[in-house]
Amino acid sequence: MNARPNLLWIFGDQHRGQALSIMGDPNVSTPNLDRLATEGIHFRRAIATNPWCAPFRFSLLTGLYPHKGIDRTPPPAPMDPALPNAATLMKKAGYHTSYVGKWHLHGRDPNGNGAKKQIIPREHRGGFDSWLGYENNNSQNDCWVHGHRSSGEEQPASRLPGYETDSLTDLFLENLKERKGEAEQPFFAVLSVQPPHTPNVAPAEDMARHRPGALTLRPNVPPVARVEELARRELAGYYAQIENLDRNVGRVLDQLREDGMLDNTLILFFSDHGDCMGSHGYREKSSPWEESIRIPMILGGGIPYAGRRFGPVEAQVSAVDILPTSLGLCGIDAPDSLPGFDYSGYLWQKQELPLAEEPDSVYIQHTQRKRLDDGIDRPWRGVVTKDNWKYVCIPNAPLGMYNLNEDPYEMNNLAFNHRFISKRKELHARLQQWIDELDDDFPLPEV
Task: Convert the pLDDT of each residue in 199-228 to its tens digit.
Answer: 999 999 999 999 999 999 999 999 999 999
Kindly tell me if the per-residue pLDDT of 250 is higher than 90. Answer: yes
At 116 the pLDDT is 67
Q: Tell me what the mean pLDDT of segment 87-100 comes to.
A: 98
Record the pTM.
Answer: 0.96
CA distance 22 to 125: 35
Q: How many CB atoms lie within 10 A of CB 447?
A: 12
Q: Residue count of the chain, please give it.
A: 447
Q: How many CB atoms lie within 10 A of CB 82?
A: 8
Residue 344 Cα distances to 87, 218, 235, 269, angstroms:
18, 33, 34, 14
At 1 the pLDDT is 43
- The better pLDDT of the pair 360, 76 is held by 360
Please list the helix, strand and coil fractions of the chain in percent, rounded to the nearest 5, in that order: 30, 20, 50
The pLDDT-based confidence of 83 (bands split at 50, 70, 90) is: very high
CA distance 257 to 252: 9
CA distance 287 to 309: 33
- Point out the least confidently predicted range of 36-50, 257-271, 309-323, 360-374: 360-374
Q: Tell me what the mean pLDDT of segment 170-196 comes to.
A: 93
CA distance 287 to 411: 15
CA distance 151 to 156: 15
Q: Tell me what the mean pLDDT of segment 40-54 comes to.
A: 95
At 166 the pLDDT is 98
At 26 the pLDDT is 97
The pLDDT-based confidence of 69 (bands split at 50, 70, 90) is: low
pLDDT digits (tens, 9 = 90+) for 349-384: 999 999 999 999 999 999 887 777 888 999 999 999
Kindly tell me if the per-residue pLDDT of 10 is higher than 90. Answer: yes
Kindly tell me if the per-residue pLDDT of 75 is higher than 60. Answer: no
As a whole number of Å, the CA-based R_g of the chain is 21
Q: Tell me what the mean pLDDT of segment 164-177 comes to.
A: 97
CA distance 238 to 243: 9
Partners of residue 132 on adjacent β-strands = 100, 147
Kindly tell me if the per-residue pLDDT of 71 is higher than 60. Answer: no
Strand runs labelled E in 165-212: 187-192
CA distance 198 to 388: 30
At 76 the pLDDT is 55
Q: What is the chain's mean pLDDT, rounded?
A: 94
What type of residue is 204? A
At 390 the pLDDT is 98
Contacts of 383 (CB under 8 A, 6+ apart): 361, 362, 363, 364, 390, 391, 427, 430, 431, 434
At 373 the pLDDT is 82
The pLDDT-based confidence of 289 (bands split at 50, 70, 90) is: very high
At 79 the pLDDT is 87
pLDDT digits (tens, 9 = 90+) for 116-130: 678 999 999 999 999
- Helical (H) or strand (E) element with 100: strand 96-102
Question: DSSP letters along 343-369, please?
Answer: -GGGGBTTS-SSPTT--SEEEEEE-S-
Q: What phi-psi label fits residue 96: left (phi over 0), alpha (psi between -120 and 50 degrees) or beta?
A: beta
Domains along the chain with CATH numbers? 6-347 (3.40.720.10), 378-437 (3.30.1120.10)
